[in-house]
Amino acid sequence: MNNFIVNHFKDIANLISESAVSLQNPISEAISLFAHSLCQGNKILACGNGGSAADAQHFTSELMGRFEDERGPLPAVALNTDTSLLTAVANDYHFKQVFARQVYGLGRAGDVLLAISTSGNSSNIIAAVEASHKMGISVVGLTGRDGGLLSKILLPNDILINVSHARTAFVQEIHSIVIHCLCEGIDNYLARHNQLKY
């Protein structure tokens, strides 16, 4: 048992070191995209399934609440939180549409969608990305493995943050670190540009 625990930590530590190098540029680009959108008076949308749904809520709660430093709320909405809406759309239309329909209803050109899928193949995430493109909403894809279909449908102005690892649990642990980097980076960007409101 002890060997398993130590090995788990060592494997994660190695993946963190690798990801720090491979993901620094797309994370930096995503920070700029999110922050610029917020500076223009737009908002951030986020969505995911299962553990990725929790990550989407984690991200938006850090923005609407605060990350580490005191500041005003930043407009961000997790699309996977309203159970009445999710079940209504799934029942009346299709589960594939549960996020896309909200993108059409809530999204505006200039917003940014954080689309989280460890496989990159979740059909409702793909539909949300496609809806975002139709609405003029940029997309940051947070994926694992080979990026899946999501990585193939992103447009040139979109950003892919892909954790190239086969284990879902490991991908999700890196996703959590990425989310914290995004939050800190957004706050730093807004502070540098005197855009933080209290």
> How many alpha carbons lie under 13 Å from residue 114 in its C-beta half-sphere?
35
Q: Residues 28-41: pLDDT tens digits?
A: 999 999 999 999 99
Please report where in the chains the tokens 């809520």 appear, as a residue.
Answer: 57
What's the distance, CA 122 to chain centroid?
Answer: 14
pLDDT of residue 2: 78
Q: Residues 108-153: pLDDT tens digits?
A: 999 999 999 999 999 999 999 999 999 999 999 999 999 999 999 9
C-alpha–C-alpha distance, residues 24 and 190, integer Å:
19
pLDDT of residue 1: 72
C-alpha–C-alpha distance, residues 5 and 97, integer Å:
40
Is this structure's pTM higher than 0.85?
A: yes
- Taking alpha carbons only, the member of 39, 37, 58, 36 closest to residue 47 is 58
